[in-house]
Structure 1
Amino acid sequence: MTPSLAADDRNRLARESAYRRVSWPRNLAPSSVTYASAGHALLIGNEADTRRAAVALENLGLASLTLLFTEAIDGEEADELLSRTRALPSHSLNRGEAEALTLEGYLGRFRVGLKRGGEWLDLARALAGRDHFDLVLDLDSRPRLDLELPPPGYLASRGEPLEASALADWAALVGEFDKPRYFEIEASLCAHDAQGKRGCSRCLEVCPADAIASHPGRIEARVEIDPFRCHGVGSCTSACPTGAIRYRLPEDHQLQHTLAAWLEHYRQAGGRDPVVRFAAAADLADEARVAGQLIDLPLEELGSAGHDQWLAALAFGAAEVRIQYMAEMPERLRTFLDGELALAHGLLEALGLPPERIRAIDADPAARDAPPRLPALAPLSEAPDEPGKRERLNHVLDHLAAQGRSDGGRHGLPRGTAYGGIRVDSQRCTLCLACVSACPTPALAAGRERPVLSLREADCVQCGLCEATCPEQAIALEPGFLAAPERSEQRTLHEAAPFHCIGCGKAFASAATIEAIKGKLAAHPYFSGEAARRLEMCEDCRVRDVWRSLARDPEAQLKV
């Protein structure tokens, strides 16, 4: 049903009042990266196409052109092309060399080389006497950097003729260019790896620019994003379940506070049943008049907001959330958003709420301006203030659960999503608690007075590190969303009677753990003979026993 003119005007006035009272957050001085290009270009392809492109580029202001041929020249225009480009530095590759050619980098810093007999030949140095090329034009049918979003400064024809405008835009990349550093990483929150085991890799899977690299075992950055290759699509930040990767334009908590304030002021001004639209700011710039109930979030990039932000909009009082897909966007981004939409629908169904409250639309004005099919839910009084992404999301989910009619069961969600618990085989588990050490969130915890392993499922992101690090293979992931209050409670998964130190009587481990350690270290010289008693001692008593042995027989102890 279309809203009456009076209702639409009322909603429109309420929306404008909200916009006036709270402005969209902007990072006034964003961190940035700078590209410096002097205009030294490398052209790669068959000789005819490469020389032809060099002729087209000769008056476009590039500092130098270097030609790298993957096939010999042929055709009637050979003589003319050779005469016009003979002075340019060039090199012909044989078939094996063409296949072994390597290319990496970005605008102002491309490195090109060949691997020969285990050695790497730097072609920028060999052909042009330079450390690098600033620009690369790849004219072969199969690009060397076959990416949905290649690095700035790289242009691939994929074997098709290039438009003059595209060639001119590429050649104009001479000078210094600044770009925002779209993200920041909090390494302590990253669930990518622990103790040499691989965990979460969601950010690596969704980046259409392949700008994210894995560095397992590193403490300062388990994953690293190359800011020069990053296009700021934002899907990595939405995919990160712990908040280790944060988008900066704006940050997610700023977006939530702004949206909550807009919706609150909209209601206070008499607006009814608002619809929140998540869209790329560029797609909103030239729009004409839109329906009064539509409240827009002009995102720097559509992928920077995922299911957590969409659900937050419902919790703040939106009747419906619409995600406006761009006409042209990387296929990997589209796949990611489709997955986020399926996840949002699965969570709403688990919470006993209609999944149609969140839907994707295109730029069709009829879909954009359609009135919501359902009234708004009771809103949260204010945006969550918890410091972490997962904590804020749990706040939202708890609020939505109170509005729905959940059945209290575990609901299946799309494969690989960050919701679920774990199962522990009590016959295998020795309560060594290696899983607690590996867990990157507060999900797993140890007991204080007794050997206990407990789980708060609301914090579990299904990274799999507990399963991978368990020496007894006693843990298995249990994916799915538990639509019950127990999800937010610390539940005991396994407990055992404590083992008391034979020296001081302090409980310091489980009996199963001590037995397992004794079995594994039975042949170790440090614990041979009478010293085997040390395995039944706490850390303090074990140290004291070593010193007593040293005092009695220093030479024997030194041999050990």
Structure 2
Amino acid sequence: MAKEYVYYDHLNLEIPLQDHIEVVKTPLLGEQCLVTNHPDVPSHLVAPEIDFYLQHSQDSLLDKALNASTLFEARALCYDFSQDSDFSQEVGKNILLVGEEEALSDLKQALKAKGFAVLVVHPSEVAMIEGHLGALHVTLRQEDALHEVDADQMVWFEAPEFALRQSGVLNPEKNDIAQIVEAIEAKTGTHTYKNFITYDPSICQYHERREEVCGKCAEVCPTVAIVKLDDTKHLQFSHIDCHGCGGCISVCPSGAVEYAQMPRRAFYEIAKLYQDKTALIIPRKMGLDALHVSLPQNVLPLGIEGEKFLHEAHLLTLLQESGSSVVFYTDFISKGTGDVISILNQAYEKMYGTKAIYVAMNEAELIQALQEVGPIEGTRHGIQEDGLRKREIFSARLAWAVGEGDYGTIQAGEHVRYGTININEEACTLCLSCVGACNVRALTAHTSDNSLRFDASICTSCGYCEATCPEKDCLSMERGEIALNKGWFGQRIMAKDTLFECVKCGKPFATSKSVNRIAAIMAPLFAGNDTKLKSLYCCGDCKPKVMFEDYLKEREKATL
């Protein structure tokens, strides 16, 4: 039986690794191991950060051996908690070339020689592209008529943005015919892929809402992997089109979209492995082979797949579980992650007088960041995250850091928004429409004292409560700031009332304000009819009884 962890010592580092890691001098063939450091070894997961750490770390040999085991374990946790599945798509040999017929003649002949069926159309004829790799549906405009053409792949030099959002559309950077044909052949046959994201519609702030207050995931998606269906307010996912960048995850306010390869639970367990260490986050696209920097003692790489999925709960969890500031080595910061980094850096500067996240976009910046990053005294903290959503995790951790202090306010971002609501208690009838509208648990109802409560620290400021409130000038939303004081965290009472008791049976059935509000509206219509007026103050069970009793009395009078 193959071991879980295999280290291929292709660099002849002669590091004395722990016994549960099998060290080999030549790549093993046959059964896959779970995690390895090199792609030549058959495995489920490759962790190039292991080689990078062992080559460049200034840690002692003993610490290197221990930390290498940690890096193997971190990748294994991703496997244990991953929520991805394997999919496949058959890709045939129908190719659509977009361009001038004469300019594409050589490419057309080269593809035909390889057995491809080729159709050439002019760019002005392409009206719409739908579908995906292996199943593209192209609408052509020819002689004032629309025609449908199916293709497995398209080649379009200098293709417009709308075309490049579809998988299966190739936009060659060079006119090298052999390379183009090779790229097309590479995707022909059975194309395998995975889902990079999972989705929970029950907490999505776009799904089936009467008004659109969100849709950020579709807005930031560089492809057509996420599309809004505005008629039904549903999201449509095309996993074959997904690049796995994770940008949708970092901007999702409620946590409805999750990264399948490293779910939040996996990230939490991995973060705990970095206790008393300094994490250097490195996305896979940032190739480590050409990176030559010295890693100070106790700096440990954290390899991730996508570069854009890190959100507020991820980063504050890592900061507090490690008790250290963090370096993020990436050449691109997504809109959501950028907002989170700004929020955390503002907070840490006010609370601890230092930066939380150091972003390094090239080797020179990385060298500088590694000189500045390190432990932050008094910041290590662990919580139990099970059952908490991402905003709730961030709130609980930030509240602990604030403690009894008051550090003023910091600015939230454009894509990671916070806010607060104002309620006119005189106008509020505690109908609780706003509670039903809030799917992040920021607004809650409490029967113990008939109150409506609000927690600003988990509010996403989507504004759906404002759109849902039926009362005029009752509820309004303010966006922008996070308050670093104890009062901002946790629930505060926004409105409360007494319960009204049914005048017939004595059972409480609604708030006094709501009963009196309805009665004030209906009383003029029921003027002169004591029974109808009385029914306004009855519960749902007694209302028909009162009306029926009155009917029987009137009928009895009529027969006398």
TM-score by length of 2: 0.76
Residue 252 of structure 2 corresponds to residue 240 of structure 1: yes
8 Å CA contact 1:153–1:170 kept in 2: the answer is: no
- Aligned residue pair count: 490
8 Å CA contact 2:271–2:322 kept in 1: the answer is: no
8 Å CA contact 2:280–2:302 kept in 1: the answer is: yes
1:517–1:416 Cα change, 3 Å: farther
1:68 aligned residue: 121
Return the match for 2:225 from 202, 211, 214. Answer: 211
2:397 aligned residue: 396
Return the match for 1:257 from 269, 273, 277. Answer: 269
Find the aligned partners of 1:215 and 1:342 in 2 and give their Cα distance: 32
Find the aligned partners of 2:294 and 2:549 in 1 and give their Cα distance: 83
SS at structure 2 position matched to 1:483: strand
Look up the equivalent residue of 2:243 and give its one-letter code: H
Q: Deviations over 1:54-87 (max 9, x none)?
A: 234333442x11122346xxxxxxxxxxxxxxxx
Find the aligned partners of 2:294 and 2:384 in 1 and give their Cα distance: 26
SS at structure 1 position matched to 2:401: helix
Once the two structures are overlaid, the 10-residue window that deviates more, 108-117 or 438-447, is 108-117
Find the aligned partners of 2:354 and 2:235 in 1 and give their Cα distance: 34
Tell me by how many angstroms 1:122 deviates.
4.3
8 Å CA contact 2:469–2:475 kept in 1: the answer is: yes
Find the aligned partners of 2:337 and 2:382 in 1 and give their Cα distance: 29
Find the aligned partners of 2:547 and 2:101 in 1 and give their Cα distance: 76
Q: Deviations over 1:4-31 (max 9, x none)?
A: x986667645533533666542337831
- The percentage of counterpart residues that share the same residue type is 21
Residue 119 of structure 2 corresponds to residue 102 of structure 1: no
2:41 aligned residue: none
8 Å CA contact 1:316–1:383 kept in 2: the answer is: no
8 Å CA contact 1:60–1:172 kept in 2: the answer is: no
SS at structure 2 position matched to 1:67: strand
8 Å CA contact 2:206–2:234 kept in 1: the answer is: yes
Provide the aligned C-alpha RMSD in A.
3.6
Tell me by how many angstroms 1:436 deviates.
0.8
Return the match for 1:15 from 67, 72, 76. Answer: 67
Look up the equivalent residue of 1:108 and give its one-letter code: G
1:374–1:42 Cα change, 3 Å: closer
Find the aligned partners of 1:349 and 1:553 in 2 and give their Cα distance: 77
Look up the equivalent residue of 1:324 and give its one-letter code: Y
Residue 341 of structure 2 corresponds to residue 341 of structure 1: yes
8 Å CA contact 2:326–2:374 kept in 1: the answer is: no
8 Å CA contact 2:140–2:148 kept in 1: the answer is: yes
Residue 361 of structure 2 corresponds to residue 307 of structure 1: no
1:127 aligned residue: none
SS at structure 1 position matched to 2:541: helix
8 Å CA contact 2:130–2:166 kept in 1: the answer is: no
1:7–1:231 Cα change, 3 Å: closer
Q: Deviations over 1:186-226 (max 9, x none)?
A: 111112256512223332232222422234686xx843322
1:553–1:19 Cα change, 3 Å: farther
8 Å CA contact 1:104–1:110 kept in 2: the answer is: yes
Look up the equivalent residue of 1:484 and give its one-letter code: N
8 Å CA contact 2:278–2:374 kept in 1: the answer is: no
Look up the equivalent residue of 2:68 and give its one-letter code: E
Matches within 5 A, 1:159-308: 161=175, 164-192=178-206, 195-215=209-229, 222-260=234-272, 262-264=273-275, 267=276, 274-286=277-289, 287=291, 290-291=294-295, 292-308=297-313
SS at structure 2 position matched to 1:466: helix
1:408–1:322 Cα change, 3 Å: closer
Tell me by how many angstroms 1:375 deviates.
2.9
Residue 333 of structure 2 corresponds to residue 324 of structure 1: no
8 Å CA contact 1:344–1:358 kept in 2: the answer is: yes
SS at structure 1 position matched to 2:130: strand
Tell me by how many angstroms 1:336 deviates.
4.2
8 Å CA contact 2:311–2:336 kept in 1: the answer is: no
2:420 aligned residue: 421
Tell me by how many angstroms 1:523 deviates.
9.3
2:16 aligned residue: none
SS at structure 1 position matched to 2:492: strand
Query: What runs of 5+ residues in structure 2 fail to find an aligned partner?
Result: 1-56, 556-560
1:244–1:115 Cα change, 3 Å: same
1:152 aligned residue: 167
1:557 aligned residue: none
8 Å CA contact 1:325–1:362 kept in 2: the answer is: yes
Tell me by how many angstroms 1:50 deviates.
4.1
Find the aligned partners of 2:292 and 2:299 in 1 and give their Cα distance: 13
1:447 aligned residue: 446
- Does 1 or 2 have the higher relative contact order (CA < 8 Å, sep 6+)? 1
Find the aligned partners of 2:550 and 2:99 in 1 and give their Cα distance: 75
Find the aligned partners of 2:292 and 2:137 in 1 and give their Cα distance: 47
2:77 aligned residue: 25
Find the aligned partners of 1:521 and 1:109 in 2 and give their Cα distance: 60
Find the aligned partners of 1:423 and 1:336 in 2 and give their Cα distance: 26
1:416–1:134 Cα change, 3 Å: closer
1:450–1:289 Cα change, 3 Å: closer
Matches within 5 A, 1:519-558: 530-545=531-546, 548=549
Find the aligned partners of 1:116 and 1:424 in 2 and give their Cα distance: 58
